[in-house]
Amino acid sequence: MAIRPASAVHDDIDLSDLNFWGRPLTERAAAFARLRAEEGPRFYPDPPVPFAKPGPGYWALVRHADVLEASRNPKIFSSEPNATTVIDGPAWLDKYVNSMINMDDPRHAKIRRIVSRAFSPKMLAKTEDDVQARAVRIVDELIASGPGDFVAKVAVRLPVEIICDMLGIPEDLYPRMLRLTNIVLGNSDPEYTGITPDMGRVRTGLGLAKVAWASRELHRLAARLGRERVKNPTDDLTSALVNANLDGEKLTAREFGTFFLLLVVAGNETTRTAIAHGLQLFTDHPEQKDLLLEDFDGRIGGAVEEIVRVSTPVICFRRNLTQDHEMNGHTYRAGDKVMLFYNSANRDESVFDDPDAFDITRSPNPHVGFGGPGPHFCLGANLARREISVMFKELFTRLPDLRADGEPDRLMSSFINGYKRLPCTFTRP
């Protein structure tokens, strides 16, 4: 029988304390190594939420095998009612953010079928060409403007421009899309919300309100675009989604709105994080950059997988036990919550040799940086791989001495392992 400890914090590793996630990345990695070495999973209390009763807490799954088993068994480890946050948000927020990530089959399967059909070969071919063209333009403008913030000048631009173009969002709205997605995923960072730690417990409630506002704005934009595409269909993804009819199944307005939000948020933040971390990793490990440049086309695939493994842009997701289940010598009870820590699974010593090393030739590399195997594996994984590959080829071919220059300014978040700013330097050709 699983017995919850009287105190969840045995030492300084409190995964429910936002301050833990502000610690240096090496310290965080060492903390998770200690958790993996323990006999069983730790139980943590939910973070406090204003005007709400304390939640039941959660088990932290930190081993690769446990994350894989939970991912492969959605009937036991359910994504409902929530898979994205430790706590359950209020009902008024669900209508904006309750996307397919927070669903099990058959609801999840229905939306995924319709969405997958919308990603036609013609659309994907156009996107691949667009990635190349935009990468060239971004590097042109980087050279023209000179060294500066790599995140703003490069990492953030490619993914947000690609996903906005796919959806048919007008170019003059790109900056607004970026601001709104920063709020949705950076809701615990004072820079994006104006909410500071000295506000205490109230900051969580204010953070939810900010997320609700940004999400509502994205839904309004989706609804407006959707209505336009129903009247006048085009060849963009929005048109394909709102006009899709698969054996009589169509997306409702709410389903389209939540998927639209998912696309612009996930399609922007995670790839941007991987590209920014990639430059930092190649700067810290110049021998790996040299290795890549010796045979770029032959090694870029492995390099992308290793960047995603080491950086793990999405730190964790949640699952909810539908029945009692024993895993790795521990019994979980129906109703328990577990958090799948992908960042820890990606450094599991039992799976990866020298897991803290950055090795672009690592093989095999069974990382879970795009989520674990199962129905919720990242729908945009191949697009992300393409964007990262093309961006670094364009950068390192034209600016071979490009490197990070100084400490990155990290996002304060327990969900996204992001960089807000990263100074870079290079010699102009």
For 59-82, write each residue's pLDDT tens digit: 999 999 999 999 999 999 999 998
Closest residue by Cα to residue 413 from 183, 186, 89: 186
d(CA 214, CA 204): 15
- The amino acid present at 47, given as its one-letter code, is P
Q: Which of 136, 144, 130, 151 is nearest to 395 (CA)?
A: 136
In angstroms, rounded to a whole number, what is the distance separating the alpha carbons of residues 46 and 36?
21
Write phi, then psi, for 420 (nearest 5 degrees). Answer: -85, -35
Closest-CA residue to 68 (of 383, 270, 351, 363): 351
Which residues is 425 bridged to in the sheet?
403
pLDDT tens for each residue of 340-393:
999 999 999 999 999 999 999 999 999 999 999 988 888 888 899 999 999 999
Strand-strand pairing, 58-61 and 337-341: parallel
Residues 202 and 194 sit within 8 Å (Cβ to Cβ): no
What CA–CA distances, in Å, run from 116 to 84, 221, 246, 341, 428? 22, 22, 11, 27, 42
**Which of these ranges, 165-169, 247-251, 257-261, 300-304, has the smallest mean pLDDT?**
247-251
Q: pLDDT by residue (tens digit) across 233-274?
A: 998 889 988 988 767 778 888 888 888 888 888 888 889 999
pLDDT single digits (tens) 77-97 = 999 998 988 888 766 666 666
Cβ–Cβ under 8 Å, residues 356 and 29: yes
pLDDT digits (tens, 9 = 90+) for 107-162: 888 888 877 776 667 777 888 889 999 999 999 999 999 999 999 999 999 999 99
Cβ 268 vs Cβ 160: under 8 Å: yes
| CATH ID of 18-425, from 1.10.630.10, 3.30.300.10, 2.115.10.20, 3.40.1190.20 | 1.10.630.10
* Letter string b/e over residues 410-428, b meaning 16 or more CB atoms within 10 A of that residue's CB: bbbbbbbbbbbbbbbbbee
Burial class (CB in 10 A: 0-12, 13-18, 19+), 283: middle
Characterise 375 by phi-psi region: left (phi > 0), alpha (psi -120 to 50), beta (else). alpha
